[in-house]
Amino acid sequence: MNEITSCSQPLVYFNQSGIIKSHAQYGMMNYTSNLYCEYIIKAPMNYKIIIHIEEVDLEETNSCIFDYLLITDEYYTNVYTYCGHQVKASHSIEMNTSQVYIIFGTDDANHGHGFLLKYETVENEALKSNNFYSCGLTFQLNEDVEYNNNKIESRIIGGELSRPGQWPWMVSVRENNQFRCGASLISSQWLLTAAHCFPKDVNLNNWTVHIGDFYLDWIDSEEVLMNISSIFIHPNYHLRKLYDYDYALIKTTLPIQYTSKRLPICILNSTLMNIDELDHCYVAGWGSSEDSPISNELRHLYIPLLNLTVCNQTEAYQGKLTETMICAGYIRGGKDSCQGDSGSPLMCQLHNTTDHVWYQIGIVSFGKSCAAAGTPGIYSNLTFVNNWISSIIQSYE
């Protein structure tokens, strides 16, 4: 087993088993003041994590508000908090998740010995048989849900007001705090958006991303502002080729803590990309038309997928669409994604399933005009870049 003995930065642990100590001098001297240590244990999908608590010796308080040890899953659905001398003998916590977060905090007085944990990862047959997912889960949309039915013609055209947390992977991308594009959270430190959202020479110091965003004009309860570490534009992207390969990946400077309103969306495997296999496709965003301001609230729109050949036969596109694109919307017009929705996800559920998992299949890219007849929206098709996304994340993780 390997030991984690430093808490100068969040530590991610991938080993099958390990030891986590409160501090490097555990067993020799008490821990120090004003610590905030984060440990993340990551196991393969369909694995569970078992935490063996060997010792907890921290400052005693009624609600563990001064010195504390917190153990939780990635969604904060199961939270275990310890302080004082609550653990008299070794006991275990079984977490049915592939990620566990451990947080250790101290104040400036009354320090104890600290804590000693051991962990192991074990394949979880229950999760495996139930086709467990750690992404794409949110509120289920259905016809019984009441929405604001005031049709708008200047944002997501013909769309409806979303609920806070309804699309927990939605991200607003901003330059000098001015909204520029939407994006989607696909893992704890990676976002997916459109390449055309960024100028050729990007000054990363001027750009931020807001994860868990809903209202653009104030900070929401679980909204997190992150700086950008890197932006990766697909190498085949060229603006002159009608937004072909309009894909970009954003890496944040720090990992994003998952909550019920900050969760990643699943990326659809390329072998499943068949229009007949997809149901309930939606696009969400803060977009506008040319003569109206950006929508302050997040909105969404049900949007049907269209045959690319049919769209290529319209006067608007005249055969210029490529296989890296998805055509979706209403040929008759009236409803559409629009300017400002760029970079936002096109997301669907799989046909004849009951798991309610959302998959991103596309990215809002461009359109001839907003909601006009014969000009449905065009989205970048993710099935052509699954390998590129994986290779970038693996290379720069």
**Which sequence positions are flagged as catalytic?**
196, 246, 342
Per DSSP, 165 falls in state: T
Under a CB-based contact definition with an 8 Å cutoff, are residues 328 and 371 in contact?
no
Handedness of CA 269, 171, 142, 325 (dihedral sign): negative
CA–CA dist 360, 348 (Å, integer):
6
Helical H segments across the chain, by residue range: 125-129, 308-312, 386-396
Distance CA 254, CA 258 (A): 12
Tell me if 357 sits within 8 A of 350, measured CB to CB: yes
**Beta-carbon neighbour count of residue 272 at 10 Å?**
12
Buried b (16+ CB within 10 A) or exposed e, 284-308: bbbbbbeebebbeebbbbebebbeb
Q: Is 72 helix (H, G, I), strand (E, B) or coil?
A: strand
Strand partners, 115: 56
CB 342 within 8 A of CB 194: yes
Quickly count: other Cβ atoms within 10 Å of residue 160's Cβ.
19
Neighbouring residues of 368: CB distance < 8 A, sequence distance ≥ 6? 316, 317, 375
Which burial class, exposed, middle or buried, applies to 132 when counting CB atoms under 10 A from its CB (0-12, 13-18, 19+)? middle
Distance between CA atoms of residues 39 and 48, nearest Å: 16
- Residue 351: Cβ within 10 Å count: 12
What string of H, E and C letters represents the secondary structure of 184-226? EEEECCEEEECHHHCCCCCCHHHEEEEECCCECCCCCCCCEEE
- Residue 2 three-state SS: strand
Return the SS3 of 12.
strand
